[in-house]
């Protein structure tokens, strides 16, 4: 079955990518999903996920750093590598191109790649020609036959030029430059020159430069643990000064080790609250380093170590309070951070209320570091704050069946037996009626009527009747679901 990936353009679903089967079935890029479905009702459709695409491309780019550190992203589906002075490391351009293609093919990617004097020329050839290496100075000839789309100019411009009879790059290149510029602007000529390899356009490297960076270059590469530790601490202190100047604290730190042989190793830690204390930062990285499954291998040593704060947040200087409880929050988050760095962020959990009527679902576990943002409750609590809680703090899980004497249809128990003990009810309040969440599709779920009961000894219970008498069942069952402290 044909597979297409669709994305929304101005509210309509449009094909953004397709497989070979879909292509053979007559579907094409830019076609609306509605048309595609009319053509092929049994189409497999995946919604495009730009972030995932981007992540995948980043991943490939990361991988490509083995060839060169200077890598730019081209929209969401291309990479440009500046291999100036780098190709000899893998045995020349031919070997490099072959190496990239083979290795990526092994990962399941088909690659269209080209090497040329300028990024634009290489991109044009790779997109509209075939994988090849353009000898220096040969670019104008090699791109001449390509369609105007290879110029990477606007749709309208392509249409206008082709209406004038210019359909290939050579048709445009042949014209005198001044009249062209007068009509279509300088950008067309610049683009033309770049594609023809006459001028070099800038490559914007993909890694966004973090605002806060501390870096050390070592004339003599370092490899010893102590040296590394000391360097990290110094870097953290440098960074802390920088952050403090701007009133910021880091929520995410990245530590990059550049090995003399070109290998790169990155470590990241996250924090639950803004942090800039160098010792704190150091401690988090220490936890990380200690628990690395594949330890840091300095090889012949690191010549650069860089610490950057990739995510920051406002952090004001703390005013001491009067109650002497200063730092409890901080200590707790420091503890959470350390536990997370050691065991992993998804292993340290805290309880959070969840938006549902069903008591046993009303709490959930979430990663402790994410606590603050998720703490907002955007639903109305049923009771006024001054009233006592209507539900016990802990629930009996699973609820325990009890024997009850109560009037039908929905009165409170008069007496009941729980764990072989009889209780006579002296006070009762209820019912609080909660119907099942029908969309979960659980079979035989019935409405519950919750009651708060007090027996003659003053013990308080939370019990429920399962099943509405008459409407759902003729034999409601009773359960004990919790105790009030």
Partner 1 sequence: MVHAWIVRVTTPYAELATTTNFSFLRGASHPEEFIAEAAKLDLKGIGITDRNSLAGVVRAHVALKEIGAGAAGLKLAVGCRLVFADETPDILAYPEDRAAYGRLSKLLSLGKRRAEKGACLLCLEDLLEHKEGLLLILMAPIKLTSGFECSLANLAPLLHRSLWLGASMPHHGSDKKRLAKLSELSSAHHVPLIAINDVLYHIPERRIIQDVLSAIREHTPIEKIGRKLEAHAERHLKSSKEMVRLFRHAPEAVSETIRFLDRARFSLDELRYEYPDEPVPDGKTAQQHLIDLTWVGAAKRYPNGIPDAIKATIDKELNLIEQLDYAPYFLTVNDIVAFARSRDILCQGRGSAANSTVCFCLGVTSVDPAEIDLLFERFVSAERREPPDIDVDFEHERREEVIQWIYNRYGRERAGLAATVISYRPRSAIRDVGKALGLTEDVTATLANTVWGSWGKGISDSQIQQAGLDATNPMIRRAVAIAMEIQGFPRHLSQHVGGFVLTRGRLDETVPIGNAAMADRTFIEWDKNDISALGLMKVDILALGMLTCIRKALDLIAQHGGKRYDLATIPREDPAVYAMLQRADSVGVFQVESRAQMNMLPRIKPATFYDLVIEVAIVRPGPIQGDMVHPYLRRRQGKESVHFPSPSPAHGPADELERVLGKTLGVPLFQEQAMRIAIEAAKFTPDEANKLRRAMATFRRVGTIHLFQQKMIDGMVHRGYDPDFAARCFKQIEGFGEYGFPESHAASFALLVYASAWLKCHHPAAFAAGLLNSQPMGFYAPAQIVRDASDHQVEIRPPDINASLNDNTLEERVDGLLALRLGFRQIDGFRNEWANRIDTARGAFYPNVETLQRRAKLPRRALILLAEADAMRSLDLDRREAAWEVRRLPDAETLPLFEAANADELAEEPLVTLSPMPLGEHVVADYQTLHLSLKGHPMLFLRDIFAGESISPCITMASLPHGRRVKAAGIVLIRQKPGSAKGVVFMTIEDETGIANLVVWPSLMERFRRVVMGARLVCVDARIQRSPEGIVHLVVETITDRTAALAHLSGETMPTSLARADEVKRPIPEGTRPHPRDVRILPKSRDFH
Site for partner 1 in 113-142 (CB under 8 A): 123, 126-130
Q: Is 99 in the site for partner 1 (CB under 8 A)?
A: no
Give residues 182-201 in contact with partner 1 (rule: CB under 8 A).
Answer: 182-184
Place of tokens 């779920």: 445
**C-beta closer to partner 1: residue 50 or 372:** 50
- Separation of alpha carbons 1 and 37, rounded Å: 12
Give residues 382-411 in contact with partner 1 (rule: CB under 8 A).
Answer: 382-384, 387, 390
Q: Is 65 in the site for partner 1 (CB under 8 A)?
A: no
Q: Is 261 in the site for partner 1 (CB under 8 A)?
A: no
Give residues 207-236 in contact with partner 1 (rule: CB under 8 A).
Answer: none
**C-beta closer to partner 1: residue 172 or 341:** 172
- Exactly one of 212, 450, 464, 478 binds partner 1 (CB under 8 A); which one? 450
- Exactly one of 266, 355, 422, 424 binds partner 1 (CB under 8 A); which one? 355
Q: Is 77 in the site for partner 1 (CB under 8 A)?
A: yes
Q: Is 429 in the site for partner 1 (CB under 8 A)?
A: yes
Q: Is 20 in the site for partner 1 (CB under 8 A)?
A: yes
Nearest-approach distance from CB 238 to partner 1, in angstroms = 39
Q: Is 307 in the site for partner 1 (CB under 8 A)?
A: no
Structure tokens at 230: 């000391």
Choose one: 224-232, 254-262, 326-334, 441-449; the region binding partner 1 (CB under 8 A). 441-449
422, 415 contact by CB (below 8 A): yes
- Exactly one of 71, 79, 232, 309 binds partner 1 (CB under 8 A); which one? 79
Whole-number Cα distances in Å, 180 to 161, 331, 437: 10, 68, 68
Nearest-approach distance from CB 336 to partner 1, in angstroms = 27
- Exactly one of 11, 75, 419, 474 binds partner 1 (CB under 8 A); which one? 75
Fill in the DSSP letter of residue 392: -
Q: Is 438 in the site for partner 1 (CB under 8 A)?
A: yes
Q: Is 5 in the site for partner 1 (CB under 8 A)?
A: yes
């Amino acid at each position: 079955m044909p597979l297409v990936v669709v994305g929304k353009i101005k509210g309509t679903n449009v094909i953004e990518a397709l497989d070979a089967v879909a292509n053979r079935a007559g579907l094409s890029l830019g076609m609306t999903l509605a048309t595609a479905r009319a053509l092929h009702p049994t189409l497999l459709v995946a919604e495009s996920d730009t972030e995932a695409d981007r992540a995948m491309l980043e991943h490939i780019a990361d991988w490509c750093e083995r060839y060169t550190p200077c890598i730019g992203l081209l929209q969401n589906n291309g990479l440009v590598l500046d291999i100036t002075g780098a190709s000899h490391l893998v045995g020349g351009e031919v070997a490099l191109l072959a190496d990239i293609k083979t290795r990526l093919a092994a990962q399941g990617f088909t690659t269209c790649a080209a090497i040329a004097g300028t990024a634009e020329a290489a991109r044009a050839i790779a997109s509209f020609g075939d994988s090849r290496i353009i000898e220096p100075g040969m670019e104008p000839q090699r791109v001449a036959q390509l369609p105007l789309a290879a110029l990477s100019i606007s749709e309208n411009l392509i249409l206008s030029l082709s209406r004038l009879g210019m359909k290939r790059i050579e048709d445009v290149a042949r014209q005198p430059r001044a009249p062209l510029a007068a009509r279509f602007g300088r950008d067309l000529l610049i683009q033309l020159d770049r594609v023809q390899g006459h001028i070099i356009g800038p490559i914007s490297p993909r890694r966004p430069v973090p605002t806060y960076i501390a870096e050390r270059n070592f004339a003599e590469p370092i490899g010893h643990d102590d040296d590394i530790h000391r360097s990290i601490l110094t870097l953290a202190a440098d960074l802390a000064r920088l952050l403090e100047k701007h009133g910021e604290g880091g929520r995410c730190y990245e530590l990059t080790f550049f090995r003399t042989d070109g290998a790169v190793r990155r470590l990241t830690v996250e924090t639950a609250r803004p942090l800039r204390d160098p010792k704190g930062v150091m401690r988090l990285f220490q936890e990380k380093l200690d628990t690395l499954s594949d330890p840091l291998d300095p090889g012949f040593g690191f010549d650069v170590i860089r610490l950057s704060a990739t995510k920051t947040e406002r952090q004001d200087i703390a005013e001491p309070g009067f109650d002497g409880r200063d730092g409890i929050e901080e200590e707790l988050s420091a503890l959470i951070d350390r536990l997370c760095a050691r065991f992993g962020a998804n292993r340290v959990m805290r309880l959070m209320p969840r938006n549902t009527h069903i008591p046993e679902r009303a709490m959930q576990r979430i990663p402790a570091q994410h606590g603050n943002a998720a703490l907002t409750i955007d639903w109305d609590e049923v009771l006024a704050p001054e009233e006592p809680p209507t539900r016990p703090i802990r629930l009996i899980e699973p609820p325990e069946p009890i024997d009850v004497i109560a009037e039908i249809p929905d009165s409170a128990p008069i007496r009941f037996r729980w764990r072989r003990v009889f209780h006579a009810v002296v006070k009762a309040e209820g019912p609080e009626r909660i119907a099942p969440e029908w969309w979960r599709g659980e079979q035989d779920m019935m409405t519950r009527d919750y009651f708060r009961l007090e027996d003659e000894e003053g013990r308080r219970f939370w019990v429920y009747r399962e099943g509405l008498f008459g409407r759902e069942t003729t034999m409601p069952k009773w359960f004990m679901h919790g105790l009030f402290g």
